[in-house]
Structure 1
Amino acid sequence: MENKSTSYTYLIFLHVIIGVIVFAIPLLSKIYALIIPVVGFYLVIRNKNSNHEVILVSAYLVGVEVFLRMTGGNLNNEYIKLCVIIFMIIGMLYKNFAMGSLIYGLFLLLLIPGILVAREIAEVNFDTDLKKAIMFNLSGPVCLGIASLYMYKRRILFTDLQKILKVMGLPIISTVVYLFLFNPSIKDVVTGTQSNFETSGGFGPNQVSTILGLGMFVFFSQLVLFSKSKGMIFLNGILFVFITYRGLATFSRGGIITGVAMIVCLIMILYLFSNAMGKAKVSIVIALSFFAGLAIWGYTSMQTRGLIEKRYANKDARGREKKDRLGGREAIMDADYELFLENPIMGIGVGIGKELRKESLGQEVASHNEITRMISEHGLFGIFGLFILFLTPFTLYINNRQHLYFLSFFVFWMLTINHAAMRIAAPAFIYSLSLLSVQIKNPEKTESPH
């Protein structure tokens, strides 16, 4: 136990150093981005994926994506998603996949008609770069489909699942360190209630708050379930506090609300499945979490001169109620629904929505909502695809009650695709984790996913 705690502490320290070094020498971010899959590939091949290496490497890639993007290390916007897809395919070559996972093969097939429709429409009406538009819109769903093929009913111990979360959380620590160095004084840059690029490392606040919200859950779960000493309680508690504080400072609400929802789901599951003594302990956790949340909120409010409260109350800096509660997303969603009603069977085609929104919104705008995008661009095929995504995890959970994180993972995916679509790999990968067959204790050693 002492060795595990020591190595965990060293890994945290290493990622603090990575955040500092990349801030000082930004060029190293590109080298970092290249090294990760190379080292990951070596680990998978050396161990023949015997210890879920493809999931661990993919988790690290998911955790590091926003850090690479904000530091200029990403080779392109789809780089991490493509890496995850490749590692999942390698995993299937080593360990095959369950036959039931072919439901996600059907999901992938349902995406094809939207591509064919887009090709026909684009050739006649638009000058858009169709390959780029298709890659932009479908890299996320394809990543989800491939990852789900691999994860479906794959057996894993709960302790190994937590290791996956820890690995994903480590580069989030580098992200937070970079944010503190990029913008050490929040007071100096916060002047309004809109999402703030300065407090988000110069990158999109929506994506930054999404990954920080995920980090909140990672270190909260580590704090509550896997901190066996006072030192570990302090360390994980500090990480949770700093990540939450910097997440609030982005002024992007979606990711933080999602992180809180994940934590609430975990606490609820722990309470429901605990005995009387366990319920008492969970009640203490609830009370402490509430007071910790108040303290973090209070400090953030002081640092932002009360503007954070106005942001979450949907008010401007003068305290006036904003008409638009979702930062302009309602208009995009309404446009998507109108496009669906005009083309209910085949949809308008992948990537065409951005062009057609010119007519109703006066400008090209990409959808932030994956659900309305699927419906408008894929039509009836998109609706069938969404049914698969929403129903399949729950059919598995009926016989998978030891998966304590199931509801948290599903909620992360559902809420994230409603405010940030699938711009980053996190929602696709976290969704696939909800399909794992999790065991608290290992009754027998097994390698097969069946």
Structure 2
Amino acid sequence: MSAKQRYRYRFTNDAYVALIVLHIIMGIFINLLPEFSTLYFAVVCGFFIFKIIVTPQREKVIWVLFGASYFVAAESLFRMTGGGLFYEFSKYFVILLMGMGMFYDGISGKAYPYFIYLILLVPAVVVASTTLGYELNFRTSVAFVLSGPVCLGASALYCYNKKVSKEVLLQIVACMSYPIVTMTTHLFLFNPSVKEVLTSTGSNFATSGGFGPNQVSTLLGLGMFALTVRFFLKSRTLFLKIFNMLLLAAVSFRALVTLSRGGVFGALIMIAAFLVIIYGVSKYRQKQQIMVSVFLLIVIGFTTWTISLNQSSGLVGNRYSNEDALGREKKDISTGRLELFVHEFEGFKDNPFLGVGASGMKQARLEEDGNIVASHNEISRLLSEHGLLGVLILVILIFKPLDIRSTNRNNIFFYSFLGFWFATINHSAMRIAAPAFLYALALLHVTNEKPPLRRKPSPELPA
């Protein structure tokens, strides 16, 4: 069986619509019955593990990637509703799925740089064992800062040069939209009136389901991208176009009213990269169709922006203009992140060889200011906590994907995935599993799936 046949997979639009409707219903149930979130969590965990075990060998890679994409998109939903086993579960579950994939399907011998990457993380643990004080629990502190990088390493090892068809890639992206639709439904029911809770331009917990606006906004932004892809590539009928436009508008609205800008900017970067790529590879007539869809996308965006301004009494506009509720310009557009970045870079300069160790800058801020403040920037964290080894880690993370891109250009989401990873680690570090897994998706070897040849039946011989 050829590689192209091996990963062939079909998923109809009818099934997509049915799954979206099902996930809207689940969002309603979660809001009405909070305990339903635990049942939902247990069922999807069991479902994906079961599918990976029982599915034929040729389809295991599909279900590993489907399961991981679903869970990274559901992470904030399970955190805000208390459905998961523990806070960091999604990262460990993705690592488990990648491990199962490696067991059944192996890894590429060319993925060795990511072995090196994982090994380079170890010295920071050793340093932390000698520097962390009693105020910070060694195990939980180290696990918190390294679970994301390890998730990235495991995902990259498995995905590197793994062959999947373009159709499978589209369904991986679609899988991300389902739990985000559930979360969006829950957010509308949890906070039906935005005007009642928005009083300032700070990131708002009430509009984010009572959870961290930064993480919620990031995953809603991922949903914006997934639904935009569906709108452009999988909406051939008027019904599907309207259906996906309405979903996109709903998810975008909830992302805007969190007043956390990182997720929205990340979505815009992903969408822009995607549109540039598909326009560049399309023929003349397809380019005309793309331009019509872009016009509709702009109309959707403008309408959603206008509604969000109205519902927030203009606070959304103030937030994106870097103004306070009274319209005065704020001094720090980074909301304190720049100060953290500078502080961590100073930690790198003071400890350039092995760094201050995992969670070392938390310890330093605790000793200096009496507060435990986690990093928002993964780049500065790598430099401060790993020293020159962190520089080598960044070299691997940045240049290895470009190397695989030079040999295979069929992944139309390559720059979107990397853009999401880079944007997210610069405003939210690796608090969620999504940047780790999407980085790994950029390493897939995407194949062109050709339709099977149809031979004309041989004429019957005369009797």
Under a length normalisation based on structure 1, what TM-score does the superposition of the two structures give?
Answer: 0.95
Partner of 1:343: 351
Amino acid in structure 2 at the alignment position of 1:228: R
Matches within 5 A, 1:37-116: 37-51=45-59, 52-116=62-126
Deviates more, 1:136-145 or 1:45-54: 45-54
Structure 2 counterpart SS, 1:438: strand
1:222-272 C-alpha deviation (Å, 9 max, x unpaired)? 010111211111111111110001100100000011001111111111122
1:383 aligns with 2:402: no
- SS in structure 2 of the partner of residue 414 of structure 1: helix
Residue 48 of structure 1 deviates from its aligned partner by: 4.1
Runs of 4+ in 1 over 3 A off after TM superposition: 358-362
Distance 1:345 1:278, change over 3 A: same
Gaps of 5+ in 2: 1-9, 453-463
Alignment of structure 1 residues 286-297 onto 2, 5 Å = 286-297=294-305
State the distance in 2 between where 1:234 and 1:440 align: 29
Is the CA contact (8 Å cut-off) linking 2:245 and 2:300 kept in structure 1? no
Question: Quick one: distance in 2 between partners of 1:37 and 1:105?
Answer: 27
The aligned runs of 1:229-244 (5 Å cut-off) are 229-244=237-252
Q: Return the alpha-carbon distance in structure 2 between the equivalents of residues 183 and 402 of structure 1.
A: 41
The Cα shift of 1:5 comes to 2.4
Q: What residue identity is the alignment partner of 1:162?
A: L
Summarize deviations over 1:314-357 as a string: whole Å, max 9, x none.
11001111111111111111110111100011000001211102
Inter-partner Cα distance in structure 1 for 2:428 and 2:101 = 28
2:163 to 155, 161, 166: 155
Deviation (angstroms), 1:25: 1.1
1:182/1:201 contact within 8 Å kept: yes
- The equivalent of 2:371 in structure 1 is 363
Partner of 1:447 in structure 2?
none
SS in 2 for 1:175: helix
Are residue 221 (structure 1) and residue 229 (structure 2) matched?
yes
Q: In structure 1, what is the Cα distance between the partners aligned to 2:141 and 2:57? A: 34
Q: Secondary structure at the match of 1:186?
A: coil
Distance 1:121 1:260 in 2: 41
Counterpart for residue 275 of structure 2? 267
Worse-matched range after superposition: 269-278 or 105-114: 269-278
1:365 is paired with a residue whose SS is coil
Task: Kindly report which structure 2 residues correspond to 1:161-310, keeping only aligned pairs within 5 A, or say none.
Answer: 161-310=169-318
Count of matched residue pairs: 441
What letter is aligned with 1:6?
D
Q: TM-score by structure 2 length?
A: 0.93
**Which piece of structure 1 moves more, 331-340 or 39-48?**
39-48
Note the aligned Cα RMSD (angstroms). Answer: 1.5
- Contact map agreement 1:49 1:91 (CA 8 A) in 2: no
- Cα distance 1:5–1:258, how it changes in 2: closer, same or farther (>3 A)? same
Alpha-carbon contact 2:11-2:171 (below 8 Å) kept? no
**Cα distance change on mapping 1:279 and 1:225 into 2, 3 Å:** same
Q: C-alpha separation between the residues in 1 aligned to 2:332 and 2:241?
A: 41
- 2:455 alignment counterpart: none
Kindly indicate whether residue 146 of structure 2 is the aligned counterpart of residue 146 of structure 1.
no
CA distance in 1, matches of 2:57, 2:378: 32
Q: Distance in 1 between matches of 2:407 and 2:234?
A: 25
Tell me which moved more, 59-68 or 204-213.
59-68
Letter in 2 for 1:303: Q
Q: Secondary structure at the residue paired with 1:411?
A: helix
Quote the residue 2:129 is aligned against.
119
